[in-house]
């Protein structure tokens, strides 16, 4: 039976490790949840989403962030993109399909420009979680006190410029009057007038000037980008899950047979 319990322990550990990091000062739209990430809803089987995410990454992120543990031809194959189309539209300079997805930016120069060298993103989702990354991407806001003019609710004092600002537009952090909750689960009311009691809550993100996309379109694009980076962190996840079902089934059957054999041996002892 030890094999069975070992398999269950590994499964539980995988689920726990996939939860990801908390989302800093990100405030939900209702003003009730602080530090809770938005759901990215990643789906490796959605090839259209992965292809759109790859296009977004190569056009907006690849100049600074590498994916040095992956190769162009493997990504094209997994995402169902013909190599000739991938090479024509998503490769730059003298790069070849068999190359690793590295960048030409010098790390020491990048550190001088941004204060810290942009990290490789191959395993970013494995490190922080898909929900964290998605929430981070939609949480840039205007902050004139910062050197680059922007800040981020998820990662405070971020050194990264908002390279997607032309798509999202101008997003600001504002304050609102929000209703207070009563101990019985309802809303607090003034005992005399019956009016709902409110308080000022700051930290809401609002797009004041739309860019090339409206908020719904921008969030959909960021989900595609997150889906692509989630795939990059574990390209064989679907295959691994498929094989894993048979491995667990084998361990269960093996444990049952081992237990029955143990019972037979125990009869001879007595």
pLDDT per residue as tens digits for the range 135-194: 999 999 999 999 899 999 999 999 899 999 999 999 999 998 877 777 776 777 777 776
pTM of the model: 0.81
In a domain, 177, yes or no: no
In a domain, 118, yes or no: yes
Going from the C-alpha of 160 to that of each of 122, 193, 261, the distances in angstroms are 17, 49, 61
Mean of the pLDDT values across residues 7-14? Answer: 46
In a domain, 94, yes or no: yes
The CATH number that applies at residue 84 is 1.10.760.10
In a domain, 136, yes or no: yes
Write the pLDDT tens digit of every residue in 168-181. 999 999 998 877 77
Token duo for residue 206: 């609002």
The domain total for the chain is 1
Cα–Cα distance measured from residue 58 to residue 249, given in angstroms and rounded to the nearest whole number: 40
Cα–Cα distance measured from residue 61 to residue 4, given in angstroms and rounded to the nearest whole number: 43
Cα–Cα distance measured from residue 256 to residue 248, given in angstroms and rounded to the nearest whole number: 12
pLDDT at residue 14, rounded to an integer: 46
Which residues are within 8 A (CB) of 78 and not within 5 positions of it... i.e. 6 or more apart? 50, 231, 235
Domain range enclosing 58: 22-169+213-235
In a domain, 75, yes or no: yes
In a domain, 183, yes or no: no
In a domain, 192, yes or no: no
């Amino acid at each position: 039976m030890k094999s069975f319990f070992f398999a269950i322990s590994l499964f539980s550990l995988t689920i726990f490790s996939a939860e990801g990091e908390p989302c800093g000062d990100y405030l939900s739209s209702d003003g009730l949840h602080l530090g809770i990430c938005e759901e990215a809803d990643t789906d490796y089987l959605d090839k259209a989403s992965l292809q759109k995410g790859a296009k977004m990454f190569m056009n907006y992120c690849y100049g600074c962030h590498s994916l040095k543990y992956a190769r162009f031809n493997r990504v094209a194959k997994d995402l169902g993109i013909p190599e000739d189309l991938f090479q024509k539209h998503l490769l730059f300079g003298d790069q070849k399909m068999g190359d690793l997805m590295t960048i030409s930016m010098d790390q020491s120069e990048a550190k001088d420009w941004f204060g810290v060298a942009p990290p490789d993103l191959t395993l970013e989702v494995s490190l922080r979680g898909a929900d964290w990354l998605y929430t981070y991407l939609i949480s840039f806001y205007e902050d004139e006190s910062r050197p680059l003019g922007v800040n981020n609710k998820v990662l405070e004092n971020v050194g990264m410029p908002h390279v997607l600002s032309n798509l999202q537009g101008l997003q600001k952090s504002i304050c609102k009057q929000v209703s207070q909750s009563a101990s019985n689960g309802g809303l607090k009311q003034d005992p005399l007038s019956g009016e709902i009691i409110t308080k000022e809550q700051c930290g809401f993100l609002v797009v004041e000037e739309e860019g090339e996309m409206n908020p719904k379109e921008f969030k959909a694009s960021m989900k595609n980008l997150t889906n692509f980076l989630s795939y990059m962190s574990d390209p064989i996840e679907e295959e691994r899950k498929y094989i894993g079902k048979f491995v667990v089934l084998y361990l269960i059957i093996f444990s049952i047979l081992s237990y029955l054999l143990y019972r037979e041996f125990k009869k001879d002892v007595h």
